[in-house]
Amino acid sequence: MRVKVTAIVLTGFLGAGKTTLLNRAVALRAAGVGTGGGGKLGIIVNELGAIGVDGDLLPPGAARQVELPGGCVCCVLNEDLDRTVREMLDAAPEIDTLVIETTGVAEPLPIVWALEQAPLGERVRVAAVVTVVDPTSFATARRASPTAEIQVENADVLLVSKSDVASAVELAATRTALAALAPAVPWVEGSLDERATWLLEVLRDPDDLGRSAARASAPEDNLAARAHHQAHPPRHGVDAVAVVVVELLDLEELEDALNELPAAFVRVKGIVRAVDPRAGSNAVAGWVAVHRVGTRVSSEPVSAPAGGGRLVALGPGVTEAPLRAGLARAVLSSGPST
């Protein structure tokens, strides 16, 4: 009898810190942290935009990774998810644990249903839904889409991210909201390394994190919930635009441009080749990951991406024009960014 692969559904609203957490966990795992008794790890990253970014932000080689861009997996990509999981497990039968990182607007339960029904249910066992919550933007997320609350309500465990940059007021408000939305669901706080180490322990022994009985509802309840879910717009009120970036950019100017985008741009992420003039004589061209979550903009150096430079913006009613205008401000030179 074939042993089922254990699956963790990692969810959380746009910019909550899912990829950062998974990136750090994979890096710690590669360094030998939390690997006792663990086998091969598989990662599937789903992105809402037609052009993916998150797959290139994960360290290569530490796990078998597949990017699934193009739509919200809980609404329109269940068949693609089915095929992707089966192809991954067929190609790497040594995988014993699977992490599915959802889009920021995905509802967890339809993904769980897809994993539990045949034929995937014969090969995969869902251990838990882990929801990442960003206290610096959770209030904004709740106003932007009902999905932010649904992700919390459907969690087996909540991970509170960015406590190092969140204010005391933001942390207190988030804790109050979590207690009201999911009073029986435990949550984990701490530094990025502490949260990543916790995730590694879960991946090593998922049986210690049994799924809540509330998630294992009767088939007729699942059917009713699915009908309700299918009545929702497939992007949950959040649109996505993506642009390819071949130019060399001024990083400081790009960050300023991203900061000035309209509030509808709830999440912007990308990988570009840029020079940071703030480095003075040490300024050199290199690949940089850029992020905007709410109105907070950040960046960090990364390895050269497989897919080249690109930016993806997500939010209600977002369009390409403001994103392209901001890019134009930051262009230092045109041509291939190699």
Mean pLDDT for the chain overall: 80
Around Cβ 193, how many Cβ atoms within 10 Å? Answer: 13
If asked whether residues 226 and 300 sit together in one domain, one would say no
The total of structural domains in the chain comes to: 2
Which pLDDT value is given to residue 109?
A: 86
Which pLDDT value is given to residue 172?
A: 96
Q: Which of 230, 252, 282 is the last residue of a domain?
A: 230
Q: Where are the alpha helices (DSSP H) in the chain?
A: 18-30, 54-57, 78-91, 108-116, 138-144, 147-153, 168-181, 192-204, 219-230, 251-259, 320-330
Around Cβ 114, how many Cβ atoms within 10 Å? Answer: 21
Structural domain includes residue 127? yes
Which pLDDT value is given to residue 234?
A: 46
Q: Distances from the Cα of 272 to the Cαs of 50, 236, 307, in angstroms?
A: 17, 28, 11
How far apart CA 170 and CA 184 sit, in angstroms, is: 21
If asked whether residues 209 and 82 sit together in one domain, one would say yes
Q: Which of 213, 230, 247 is the last residue of a domain?
A: 230
If asked whether residues 209 and 256 sit together in one domain, one would say no
% of the chain with per-residue pLDDT over 70: 77
If asked whether residues 71 and 169 sit together in one domain, one would say yes
How far apart CA 59 and CA 22 sit, in angstroms, is: 10
Within 8 A by CB and 6+ apart from 31, the residues are none
If asked whether residues 208 and 81 sit together in one domain, one would say yes
If asked whether residues 273 and 180 sit together in one domain, one would say no
- Span 120-146, pLDDT tens digits: 888 999 999 999 999 999 998 898 888
Which pLDDT value is given to residue 103?
A: 81
Structural domain includes residue 338? no
If asked whether residues 286 and 312 sit together in one domain, one would say yes
Which pLDDT value is given to residue 32?
A: 72
Which pLDDT value is given to residue 51?
A: 45
Q: Which of 230, 248, 281 is the last residue of a domain?
A: 230
Pick out the chain residues at pLDDT < 70.
Answer: 1-2, 34-39, 47-78, 207-237, 334-338
Which pLDDT value is given to residue 220?
A: 44
Structural domain includes residue 196? yes
* Structural domain for 66, as ranges: 5-230
If asked whether residues 50 and 90 sit together in one domain, one would say yes
Which pLDDT value is given to residue 119?
A: 83
158: domain CATH number?
3.40.50.300
